[in-house]
Amino acid sequence: MSNAMYNKMWHQTQEALGALLDKEPQKMIEPQRNQVFIFQTLATFYVKYVQIFRNLENVYDQFVHPQKRILIRKVLDGVMGRILELKNEMVELELTEFHYFDDILQDLKLAPQQLDIPIPKYFLKEKLEVIKGREKILAQILADSGIDTSDMKYPVKSIPFDEAVKLIQVAERARQGRLRALFMKQIYLQEYRAKQSKMLGKKVTDTWAAALRIQKVWRRFHQCKETEKLREEEMIFLGMNPPPLFNEVSATVIQAEKVDRLRNEVQIKHEEDYREALVTIKNDLKLIEGVDIKENLQDQIRHWFIECRNLTGTFPDYPDVEEGGSAIIFSDKTIQQVIEDIIANQEEEEKNKKKKKKKEKQPKKAKKQKKGTKEKNKEEDEKWKMSPSLFLPAMKEGCNAYKEIWMKKDESWNFSQDYDPELIKEEKRKELQSEIRIQVDELMRQELKNLKLAVDRERERPVKAGKKKDKKGKKGKKKEKKAKKDKDLTADRTIESLYKELVEEGLLIQALKVNLSDYIGEYSYLGTTLRQVSIEPMPSLLDVRQLITLYGIWPLGSAAVHEKAPLVKSLLLAGPSGVGKKMLVHAICTETGANLFNLSSSNIAGKYPGKNGLQMMLHAVFKVARQLQPSVVWIEDTEKTFYKKVPNAEKMNEPKRLKKHLPQILKLLKPDDRILIVGTTRRPFDAELQSFCKVYQKIILVPRPDYASRYVLWKQIIERNGGVLTSALNVSCLAKVTDGFTQGHIVKVVKDVLTDQRIRRQIHKPLTAVEFITAITSMNPVYKEEEESFKNWYAKTPLGKKRALAITGGSTEKAKDKGKRK
């Protein structure tokens, strides 16, 4: 796409966002009681914001104009935050983490794929050099300490000498047996041919009969091939089969990738030019306009002194530096407007004095009115109201800036989409004015003192200065107290030394290169239908993927979103083994460039012993995590930390070491700290539910794949491992038969079947479903009883209890009240 096309997309998206921002306050201000109507309104806004976000993210990634990118980035962060706020509102309203928008998608004429939430590319682009540098340091430390990551991925088990000899003997005997069988087959064929020749006795002399027979065979073979070809063409025409070159990368895609790379290079160049221009243009303005700005400010402030003296009879008090100096008085105002403000303030003071006198006379009437207002407030509280948004002002500012600057701007002169110098001049002129104003304020304060001494013979009062000192002294004492509470146990050590120690101890590990898009699945198309019949559907794999994006990747990737959005400090992934919990943890780190700390009970066993050692370990981990944020603290098999009863075999490892410390750590995490604690568990029912749910703020139940997800999984995993899908392979049958098996089972089976030899033989012998089915029969699936146990456990969690109450007839308000009491 060209710059013009992306500009058009941007203008259309900004118009859609402006219309949405105008509609939202009107619908959200009015209190409502109808829960269905409220959810439909929230969900509609959510879906529309997601569409706007998808377009803006695409535009921001492809634009090369540096000043436009700054504005789009501001709006993009605002839209991300607003989506998270709406998601939080829907969770509180429906009391579930998973929502289904089938009706809304039909009304808006959108496909389910358009609801997929992308991960902004700038998360990694802006930190690419930092991430690469950190990976080099980590690899160097691992190499120096003798820990080889390649050995960790592919561990080699040592075998005793006797067993190795037996294996070689078995392999050699098998080879000899195959050769003997081949030799015996050749002898048998020779004998068979000799017998046939004796039985016939003479050669066939009828050549016409032989030719006719050959023709019959050839015509049959040729017609079968033609029929297969016609059938294949018909299936492609109907859209039932993909075209022949469907999986091959086309020339247009290759060209588009080249254009993307060129755009990235131009983006970097334009950014560098823009940064240089910010400095040079400011210096030029300082030389040309600096003196004039200084004189104008001095004349303006002197005129203010004289006018105040004429109106009030005394010189005004000059605002302090902490208050903002003269900028408070003259912020985009002329001298006449300042004089009018002074007169208006005097009139307001007189009116306030009169009102106070009237209030003192009528205290009894006010009490009666208060009783009536309390009853009205109670009625209003029963109705649902939208909580105030922290991101709407930023989006409105961005939309206003777009309308003022870019909406009707003529850019015919700027074909290369480089920076606009006039906009930089406007921005830097304001900065220069504020810098010069600070210098002018110091001069004019002294001038005002001299005027007061000369005209009014006033002197400074030393009491105010003393009071200020006392206040400062009190503040200083408070700061000292806070400093005493927050002791730094490693004040004498550098971050580099702590980083190295944590890597050597195995607490800071290298995340696997896994993208969230590799977590394959399909949408749940029956979610809304099942809920209408009061049946709670199991979430699909793509629903889980969306929650990981919203709760994990977005807040960690954007500091602006993390500070203002609903704060998620901890996340729990619960599900049977093989559903991809560990993969999701590594995907969060890969997509955000986050550090990965492993505080699993098995990993910290025997490390940093004692209470002081544990305190030192946690201090070092979270100090490094804060300094090198974003960071993910992973606790694998986290149910062991909250065991109801520790098994005798695990008592030596002290699995419950972190149980008391985790709630304290969560309290210390602030909105500025982009740190996420992620726990994974396959047996959550072994843990104490109350303490478990206190630590983990969001609980995501990761299910086994349904039929649609299994169908997509089989296709994509076979193709990724070198398999070729043909009509001989019935993928639908595979997906149906493997009900209950997880992604881990499917990946293992595909890798076992598709060996190098089998991949080479695909041309002559296509893959069949039987090969995969025979390989998977030796594995144990996830039975319905196990899935039900996860459902029953989730129903006991705080959010699960509220949801169950709401479904069985209790209102959501009662459910919320019960959750608060507990």
Q: Using alpha carbons, select from 565, 563, 393, 564 the residue that is nearest to residue 21.
A: 393
Residue 313 banded pLDDT, cuts 50, 70, 90: confident
Task: Give residue 801's pLDDT.
Answer: 87
Between the ranges 440-449, 458-467, 522-531, 684-693, where is the mean pLDDT highest? Answer: 684-693
For residues 514 and 575, state if they share a domain.
yes
In terms of domains, do 593 and 654 share one? yes
Residue 609 confidence (pLDDT) above 90:
no
CA distance linking residue 767 with residue 728, whole number of Å: 7
473 occurs within a structural domain: no
Please state, in angstroms and rounded to a whole number, the distance separating the CA atoms of residues 231 and 246.
18
The label of the residue with tokens 């208060």 reads 370
Same domain, 713 and 695: no
Q: Residue 154: pLDDT band by 50, 70, 90 thresholds?
A: very low
Q: Which CATH number belongs to the domain containing residue 639 in this structure?
A: 3.40.50.300
Number of structural domains found in the chain: 3
What is the average pLDDT score of the chain? 82
Question: Are both 684 and 760 inside the same structural domain?
Answer: no
pLDDT on residue 315: 74
Q: Which of 315-319, 425-429, 494-498, 544-548 has the lowest mean pLDDT?
A: 315-319
Q: CB burial class (10 A; 0-12, 13-18, 19+) of residue 356?
A: exposed
**C-alpha to C-alpha distance for 294 and 289, rounded to whole angstroms:** 9
Q: What is the mean pLDDT of residues 302-308?
A: 80
CA angle 377, 387, 16 (to 5 degrees): 130
For the cut 80, the answer to whether the pLDDT of residue 392 exceeds it is: yes
Rounded CA-CA distance 663/649 in Å is 27
My answer on whether 606 and 717 are in the same domain is no
Residues 240-280 have pLDDT tens digits of 888 877 777 778 888 888 888 888 888 889 888 999 998 89
Instruction: Tell me which of 407, 432, 452 is where a domain ends.
Output: 407
649/550 same-domain check? yes
Residue 39 within any structural domain of the chain: yes
> What is the C-alpha to C-alpha distance for residues 170 and 287, in angstroms, rounded to an integer?
89
Q: How many helices (H) and strands (E) does the chain have?
A: 33, 6
Question: Is the pTM for the entire model greater than 0.95?
Answer: no
Q: Is the pLDDT of residue 770 over 50?
A: yes
Task: Tell me whether residue 27 is in a domain.
Answer: yes
How does pLDDT run across 350-382, given as a tens digit for each residue? 666 666 555 555 554 444 454 455 444 444 445
Q: Is residue 449 part of a domain?
A: no
pLDDT grade for 451, boundaries at 50, 70 and 90:
confident
Within-domain flag for 267:
no
**541 and 399 within one domain:** no
Q: Is residue 494 part of a domain?
A: no
Please check whether residue 29 lies inside any domain of the structure.
yes
Q: What local confidence, expressed as pLDDT, does residue 335 receive? A: 55
Q: Are residues 399 and 519 in the same domain?
A: no
Helices (H), 493-580: 495-504, 527-532, 541-548, 554-557, 559-564
Task: Kindly state whether residues 666 and 627 are assigned to the same domain.
Answer: yes
Same domain, 716 and 680: no
Mean pLDDT in residue range 440-463: 70
pLDDT in tens, 159-187: 888 889 999 999 999 999 999 999 999 99
Percent of the chain with pLDDT over 70: 84
Q: What is the largest CA-CA distance in the chain?
A: 146
- Same domain for 733 and 640: no
Question: Which domain CATH number covers 715?
Answer: 1.10.8.60
Q: Report which DSSP code applies to 100.
A: -
Residues 609 and 756 placed together within one structural domain of the fold: no
User: 631 to each of 124, 143, 510, 581, 586, how far by Cα in Å?
Assistant: 14, 23, 12, 18, 12
How many Å apart are CA 326 and CA 336, to the nearest integer? 15
Q: Is the pLDDT of residue 321 over 90?
A: no
Q: In whole angstroms, give the CA distance from residue 737 to residue 609.
A: 50
> Where a domain ends, among 667, 701, 735?
701
Environment class of residue 515 by beta-carbon count within 10 Å: exposed (0-12), middle (13-18) or buried (19+)? exposed
pLDDT, tens only, 192-233:
888 887 776 655 557 788 888 899 999 999 999 999 999 989
Q: Residue 207 falls within a domain, yes or no?
A: no
Q: Which domain does 400 fall in, by range? A: 3-122+390-407
Higher-scoring residue by pLDDT: 124, 370: 124
Across the range 636-649, mean pLDDT stands at 87
